[in-house]
Amino acid sequence: MTGDLDYDLYILGAIGLLTLCSFLTRAGYFLFGDYMPLSESVRRALRYAPTAALIGIVVPELLPWRAGAGPVLDIKVFAALIAILVFWRTRSTVLIIVGGMVAYWLLKALF
Amino acid sequence: MVAQFRIPSWWPDASGRRSFNAGFVDVIPALIATCTWGFVTGIALVKSGLTESMATLMTLTVFAGSAQLTSLPLIESSAPLWLIFAAGMVVNVRFLIFGAALHPYFRHMRWPKRLVLGYLSSDISFVLFMARYGDSKVKGSTEQLWYFLGIIIPGWIGWNTFSLLGVFLGSFIPASWSLDFAAILALMAIIIPLVKTRPMAMCLVVAGAIAWLGQPLPLRMGLAAAVGGGVIAGVLTEKLQHKTRRRRA
């Protein structure tokens, strides 16, 4: 609670709606699967939605730009590239987080 | 006289316990990743400005790391609630597909049990369960139920324990460590292993490009456009692959 009622309600609303998301998507088929046939083509197309949504969140965080000011090149991009390299060499998803953070700290100390 | 201890009727028999243990053993490697993500997600929640009580509530109710991490930049930029809901639905849509595949194994159960099982299901429970029982002719055995529980119960405990640990330790970690960047890296850790095929790579490239170009659009419409474009790119690449394969054959 922050004391700002509007803000608290906004956060509560977001949490409530995200909880609803969890129930609808995870338990939807468990509950109503008998009434919801899903065609094979829709099923195949839906496989691409999460990747697209996740990259749609990540890209503006890594490569922000504003109209007029142009793109900003942050060391985060280089840290992210190093993280991808680390995954490519090790196949460990945990090392994406660890490697990326270490790279970010090193780059920040250097530049 | 010693009072007789009565075992409740739902308690698993020896074979049920064996199945539960099999699920638990299979999920251990993934649990390490789950706990790390949980910890990072918990830190990211408080680092993005949520209070500890709100972060705790979100952890215990939402129980979906990628949806939570996705919502943080949206919440920080005061995006409208419907957009947060829409983004959460899109990121979670994979669970619909998992649910459709898992449903035949649990359809015989009463709805409150199905509700809980569905809510507690995870990416890893789908992967492990289908690897073991995907080709099984019998669907809905007790053995399968206990195996599934052996995956999802440790998962739920591990995720929530480490998320809450992150929430409460997060405020002691100085801002200069920039651990909010770990949230972005955690999202990357979800995306990168998904990109194994050419259609998925095309989906990633097209959605990424649209998301980059679409940044100045209001209401994060760039995100919606990226999802649409990414799905179309994936489906079209898949169709093209089929065509060239057929031509070669």
In a domain, B24, yes or no: yes
- Is A97 exposed, middle or buried (CB count within 10 Å of its CB: 0-12, 13-18, 19+)? buried
Q: Average the pLDDT over A29-38 and give the result.
A: 86
With beta carbons less than 8 A apart as the criterion, state whether B17 and B146 touch. yes
Which of B192, B216, B238 delimits the end of a domain?
B192
Domains in chain A: boundaries: 1-37, 47-111
Which of B170, B192, B214 delimits the end of a domain?
B192
Interface test with A, best of B84, B185, B231 (most A CBs within 10 A): B185
With beta carbons less than 8 A apart as the criterion, state whether B88 and A42 touch. no
Write out the residue range of the structural domain in which residue B61 sits: 14-192
In a domain, B6, yes or no: no
Which chain A residue's Cα is nearest to B123? A26
Chain A environment of B189 (Cβ under 8 Å): 87, 93-94, 96-97
Please tell me whether residues B59 and B160 are part of one structural domain: yes
- pLDDT category, B54, cuts 50, 70, 90? very high
DSSP string computed for A18-50:
HHHHHIIIIIHHHHHGGG----HHHHHHHTTHH
Please tell me whether residues B227 and B173 are part of one structural domain: no
With beta carbons less than 8 A apart as the criterion, state whether B198 and B241 touch. yes
Q: Average the pLDDT over B117-142 and give the result.
A: 87
Question: What pLDDT sits at residue A4?
Answer: 83
Interface test with B, best of A40, A57, A88, A95 (most B CBs within 10 A): A57
Flag whether residue B221 sits within 8 Å of chain A, measured between CB atoms: no
Interface test with B, best of A40, A47, A74 (most B CBs within 10 A): A47
Please tell me whether residues B32 and B68 are part of one structural domain: yes
- pLDDT category, B249, cuts 50, 70, 90? low
Question: What pLDDT sits at residue B4?
Answer: 65
Which helix (H) or strand (E) segment holds residue A65: the answer is strand A65-66
* Cα angle A59-B159-A105, degrees, rounded to a multiple of 5: 45
State how far the Cα of B204 lies from the Cα of A62, in Å rounded to an integer: 15
Query: Which residue among A27, A52, A96 places its CB closest to the CB of B227?
Result: A52
Please tell me whether residues B152 and B207 are part of one structural domain: no
Number of domains in chain B: 2
Please tell me whether residues B123 and B214 are part of one structural domain: no
Pairing of strands A65-66, A70-71: antiparallel
Mean pLDDT rounded to a whole number for chain B: 88
Interface touch A34/B88, C-beta < 8 Å? no
In a domain, B246, yes or no: yes
> Radius of gyration over alpha carbons of chain A, in Å?
20
pLDDT digits (tens, 9 = 90+) for B143-197: 999 999 999 999 999 999 999 999 999 888 887 888 778 878 888 887 888 888 9
How many Cβ pairs within 8 Å bridge chains A and B?
278
Please tell me whether residues B132 and B219 are part of one structural domain: no
Which chain B residue's Cα is nearest to A58? B184
User: What size, in residues, is chain A?
Assistant: 111
In a domain, B9, yes or no: no
Please tell me whether residues B37 and B92 are part of one structural domain: yes
State how far the Cα of B234 lies from the Cα of B231, in Å rounded to an integer: 5
- Is B98 exposed, middle or buried (CB count within 10 Å of its CB: 0-12, 13-18, 19+)? buried
Q: How far is CA A16 from the centre of its chain?
A: 19
